[in-house]
Amino acid sequence: MHAEPSIPNQLETYFDRLWPICRSITGNGLRESLNILGELLPLKMHEVATGSKVFDWTIPKEWNIRDAYIITPEGKKIAQFTLNNLHIVNYSIPIETKINWEELSNHLHHIPELPDAIPYITSYYKETWGFCISHNEWKSLPREGEYTVYIDSTLEDGHLTWGECVLEGETQDEVLFSTYLCHPSMANNELSGPLATAFIYHELSKIKNRKYTYRFLFAPETIGVIAFLHQRGKHLQEHLKAGYVLTCCGDPGPLTYKRSKHRNSLADRAAEHVLKHSGDEHRIIEFAVGGSDERQYCSPGFNLPVGSLMRTPYQQFIEYHTSLDNKSFISFEALAHTVHTYVSICRVIEMNNKYTNKIPFCEPQLGKRGLYPSSVDPIFNRTELHRLLHFLSFADGKKELIDIAEWRNESALHYEDLISKCMAADLI
């Protein structure tokens, strides 16, 4: 894996700041997290009010929480929200009551197969309450006596918030990076996507003369993207050329690319081309509805060219949606490598034009343009010369760069300097 040494350190710094915040699909934790990420890129905040209709959905009430815990019959305080925000069922209604074990057990969640893990549970659209604890703690609790349950939360009219940033290019053709920000303290399934997306912006902003406009979206999963598409869907249908959903970007597993429903869109071809020639272990999987917000982008009404490059996919690691998905589970080197791979994909997208050789009849005289090295030159590079001749031979205004590079079974990234020299020599 090759990444700038500083990027993993910066990723970790922002991870540590975002980790303690209790996020949900609405609320102050979401806005606080967006404000922190806004230090890395110029995010514009958008809000949609509770009760607003967005396609077949309705924006729910806004949820905020200050504290929650259970006191056992022996007086021990457990399931403390302030110690681990996964202890509370996300979107739990406020409650303060005394109950017995039989009633309490209906509101306790645990995973027998992972006895030390705290599960992550939500109830966005049904008003209820609950706590999550490890299976080992659940087994140790007394079945007799009176428990005290306390949840200091609010569920009231408010707003759903998302953050958006546009990095302008020379054209209105767009590439979308979409990630979610709505889970409490989880590493791979929450913070890896937003952090990778923010640092991709940082790297792409260095590219001069960008052809494409890049749109970056940080939104609550599902409902946030549905609200975003309600406002931006038509625009994307007209301008989006490639898009990616970023999730599960930080574990040490191999890269996985999930195709769009198009299967052969620019998003798919560029990602698969980069992975093929990267030398990295990887796999390609087909679009399926089990997953993240690609479900919304690829829904029949939109059917946008949106795929997803990740590492180990959701639900395929045992730590998924539990307290085991923590800082020790991810690698900041792996996360930086994911950023690097996405940037390489964008470099290919930027170059993937149909080039036209201005001297189509026979080979152009390269020597007089300083592009044909002398055979007695000690640094004569036959591979580079053949690549140049190959490129000019196939630059017929019909073939895209990816196809030209694949003809030689090599990366389009090898053509970056070559194309610049040809343009400077007015050959293409």
Q: What end-to-end distance do the CA atoms of the chain give, in Å?
A: 35
Per-residue pLDDT tens over the stretch 217-250? 999 999 999 999 999 999 999 999 999 999 999 9
Per-residue pLDDT tens over the stretch 399-422? 999 999 999 999 999 999 999 999
Above 70 in pLDDT, residue 5?
no
Exposure letters 48-75 (e unless 16+ CB within 10 A, then b): bebeeebeeeebbbbbbbeebbbbbeee
Q: Please give the pLDDT value at position 6.
A: 83
Domains in the chain with CATH codes: 6-60+159-351 (3.40.630.10), 63-156 (3.50.30.90), 354-424 (no CATH)
Contact 305, 163 (CB under 8 A): no
Contact 29, 183 (CB under 8 A): no
In the three-class reduction of DSSP (H, G, I as helix; E, B as strand; rest coil), residue 174 is classed as: strand
Q: Which of 155, 151, 144 is nearest to 105 (CA)?
A: 144
Distance (Å, whole) CA 39 – CA 159: 22
Mean pLDDT, residues 70-93 taken together:
98
The residue behind tokens 């967006």 is 34
Contacts of 296 (CB under 8 A, 6+ apart): 222, 225, 226, 229, 302
In sequence order, the β-bridge partners of residue 88 are 131
Per-residue pLDDT tens over the stretch 250-264? 999 999 999 999 999
Write the DSSP symbol of residue 328.
G
Backbone angles phi and psi of 176, in degrees to 5: -105, 135
In sequence order, the β-bridge partners of residue 177 are 216, 244
Per-residue pLDDT tens over the stretch 317-353? 999 999 999 999 999 999 999 999 999 999 999 999 9
Contacts of 313 (CB under 8 A, 6+ apart): 248, 256, 258, 285, 291
Contact 387, 373 (CB under 8 A): no
Above 90 in pLDDT, residue 2?
no
Q: Which of 58, 130, 147 is nearest to 94 (CA)?
A: 130
pLDDT band at residue 375 under the 50/70/90 scheme: low
Average pLDDT of every residue of the chain: 96
- The amino acid at 209: N
Dihedral of alpha carbons 403, 407, 410, 415, sign? negative
Contact 212, 349 (CB under 8 A): yes
